[in-house]
Chain A
Amino acid sequence: MVETFAALGQRNRFRIVEFLAAGPRTVNEIGEKLSLNQPQVSKHLGALKKAGLVQVEPRAQQRIYALRPEPLREMSAWLEKYRDLLEARFESLDELLEELESKKERSNGRRKRR
């Protein structure tokens, strides 16, 4: 999970993932599209591959890079679970806040300015 966050944290790697979302590409195609040189692209692809975000498919003389959706799905599922947890907690906070605010209004009575 953190590997996924970390790999996507670098702007050019994020751009590569965006580009690969449209379909598999070669190193050259990625470099041309994103105006990066070949060693830069290879370095980023290496990091993305290590994080499990891309996989290599040999095709004829070329190496084609494709997106692996699993880590993205995992990250998305994690965020969604965390969001649900926080929302449950905050809904319980909503109830407490309502009570505190109504108490405050009562105790302020007519002295309340607004």
Chain B
Amino acid sequence: MVAGKDGDFSRFAKTQVERVSDRELLIQRSFRASAKTVFRAMTEPALLRRWWAPKLLGVVLFECESDARVGGRYRYVFGRPGEPPLAFSGTYTEVVPGTRLVYTQIFEPMPHAGEGLITAEFTESGGLTLLTQRERYPAKEVLDGALASGMERGMRETLEQLEALLAEVGDAA
């Protein structure tokens, strides 16, 4: 459910990820900052470098370019030290500072998989900003690439996941 219009962002203090359609994910998360600041942190290279690849994930952001204008390009090169680097890149197609950002995305190790499209919206209320991001992926490999962008294996495997999903599909058993 897309929520947040009423200004109650409390349930998005932790990241929510939902499948909303074929190959499309909805991601929501609130931040204690103005929409303008969140937007800057997500588009300015000097700021992106400081959070996009947290140490905890074991990946390093080797290069980060971002020209947040319509038609401008971005490129993130990242990876684990000692392994071949990976990269995401794309073009900004809509840029409304503090409000909305739309960009294409290619996972460079799989150029033939096609382009994904990411739409991020920023809603500010009561000192919080809700990020609502839709990610549309072109193919399975790109979904896997999204995960390759930094995740130690085997972090969490619990039955709760299945229970939650079965509850979602209306498990009566």
Contacts and interface: CB of A to CB of B under 8 A. Distances in A.
Given A69-B162, A84-B156, A88-B56, A101 B19 contact: no
A98 to B, nearest CB: 7
Interface in A20-58: 21-23
A87 B15 CA distance: 6
A75 B31 contact: no
Interface in B10-67: 14-19, 21-25, 27, 29, 31-34, 37-38, 40-42, 47, 50-54, 56-57
B15 A75 contact: no
Contact of A87 (B14, B42, B139, B162): B14
Contacts of B96: none
B77 interface: no
Given A21-B170, A82-B17, A83-B17, A76 B161 contact: yes
Interface residues of B, number: 53
Interface stretch (B84-92, B97-105, B145-153): B145-153
Contacts of A90: 15, 29, 31
| Chain A interface residue bracket vs B | 35 or more
B83 interface: no
B172 interface: yes
B6 interface: no
Interface of A: 1-3, 5-6, 8-9, 14, 17-18, 21-23, 69, 72-73, 75-98, 100-101, 104
Interface of B: 14-19, 21-25, 27, 29, 31-34, 37-38, 40-42, 47, 50-54, 56-57, 137, 139-140, 143-144, 146-147, 149-151, 155-157, 161-162, 164-166, 169-173
Given A83-B15, A87-B15, A93-B51, 7 more contacts: A21-B169, A72-B165, A78-B143, A86-B15, A100-B40, A100-B47, A101-B34
